[in-house]
Amino acid sequence: MHGLPPSDDLIARALAEDLGVEAARFLGQMSADPAVLDADVTGAATVPVDAGFTGRIVAREEGVVCGLALVERTYQLLAAASAQPEVSCFPLVAEGADVSLGDAVLEIEGPVRLVLVGERTALNLLMQLSGIATEARRWQRAAGDALTVTDTRKTLPGLRALSKYAVRVGGATNHRVGLHDMVLIKDNHIAYSGGVTAAVEAARATQPGMQVECEADTIEQAVEAASAGADYVLLDNMDDATLAQAVVAVREAAGDRRCLTEASGRVTFERLLSLAATGVDRVSASALTLARPLDFGLDAT
C-alpha cells in the first residue's frame, strides 16, 4: 500500500559497517561463509554456535511502527551470507500501527549468534523509520483534514526513499522526491533567470509534463507566479496575516485555473492551527524526516 522501496543495498552497507566486512558479501556477490559471524568478536567469544534464540522486539515508548519488513530482510541477507538457517520473524502488529510503551511488535526465532549480529542493524532501521512515521502522524493529526502536511528533501543521505516511505506510513504526504521529478523554482533560480515570470515560463517550456512550483517571498511575487502559470506557489517565511492575504491573492490571480499554495519556513508544530486558519493548502516541514528515532529493544523470552 505504501510502497516499501528497495533496501538491500542499504541493509548490506549497514551490516558491513557493523561487522567490518565487505557489503558485497550480503548481496550475493561473494560465497556464503559461516565465518562471517566471527567478525562479531563478542558473540564469537561468548555464545555457543548451536544455541537458539526466541524473543520479541518491544516498543520502549509510544509511537507508530514502521519498517517491520526491513527487520526480516536484514536477517534474510545475513543468513544467506553466513550459510545459516533463516531467522523467523512474526509481526505482531501491522505496519503503521500505533503502539504504547511495552507493546511487542515482532517475534523472532533463530540461531542466537545470527540474531545478535543482526540486532543493531535491524533495530536501527526500525527505530529511524518509526520515528519519522510517528512525527508525520502527529503533525497530520494536529493539522486536520483541511491542511496537508508534506515532507522536504532534508533527509539523512542515502535514506531519502525510506524516509519518505515512513512519512506515507505515518499519514502525511510526500513533497518531490528529488531534483528530477518536479520543478521547484527558488530565490536563486529567480535571480539567475531574470525574474519570476521568466523562470516559470522557462520551466513550462523545458518541462511541459511536470508540475511547477515557484517560491515567493512577497505577495507581489506570489501573484506574479500564479499569473505566470505555476501549479503551486510556495509562500516562504510569511507571518500568518501576510500568509492569509497571499493565499487570497494567489487564488484571485489564478482565476479558474487550479493553483495551490504552500507555506514553508518557520513552520512549527505549535503553529499548525494558525497556519490552517490562513486557508493555505499545505505546509512543508523538515521536522518529519529529521525526526528523533523511536526506541525499540530486543528482549529474549
Catalytic-labelled residue, pool 13, 56, 153, 154? 154
Specify whether 97 is located in the same domain as 220.
no
The series of mean pLDDT values per 10 residues for the chain, 301 residues long, is 88 98 96 96 94 97 98 98 95 98 98 97 98 98 97 96 98 97 97 97 96 98 98 97 98 96 96 97 98 98 92
Catalytic-labelled residue, pool 13, 56, 160, 186? 186
pLDDT value at residue 1: 55
Specify whether 27 is located in the same domain as 136.
yes
Give how many domains the chain has, as a whole number.
2
Specify whether 21 is located in the same domain as 104.
yes
Specify whether 132 is located in the same domain as 17.
yes
The answer to whether residue 215 is catalytic is: yes
Residue 227 DSSP SS3 = helix
- In eight-state DSSP terms, residue 148 is E
The answer to whether residue 164 is catalytic is: no
Specify whether 96 is located in the same domain as 26.
yes
Specify whether 77 is located in the same domain as 56.
yes
pLDDT value at residue 228: 97
- The span from the CA of 298 to the CA of 290, in Å, is 24
The answer to whether residue 62 is catalytic is: no
How close are the terminal C-alpha atoms of the chain, in Å?
32
Residue 168 lies in a domain: no
Specify whether 121 is located in the same domain as 33.
yes
* Closest to 33 measured CA to CA, from 85, 76, 86, 81: 81
Specify whether 136 is located in the same domain as 53.
yes
pTM beyond cutoff 0.75: yes
The answer to whether residue 186 is catalytic is: yes
Residue 289: other Cβ atoms inside 10 A:
26
Specify whether 38 is located in the same domain as 132.
yes
Specify whether 109 is located in the same domain as 229.
no
Specify whether 124 is located in the same domain as 198.
no
CA–CA distances in Å: residue 187 to residues 195, 213, 217, 263: 9, 12, 8, 15
Q: Is 111 left (phi over 0), alpha (psi -120 to 50) or beta?
A: beta
Catalytic-labelled residue, pool 8, 18, 38, 120? 120
Q: Any idea what the CATH number is for the domain that residue 254 is in?
A: 3.20.20.70
Domain coverage including residue 73: 8-141+292-300
The answer to whether residue 154 is catalytic is: yes
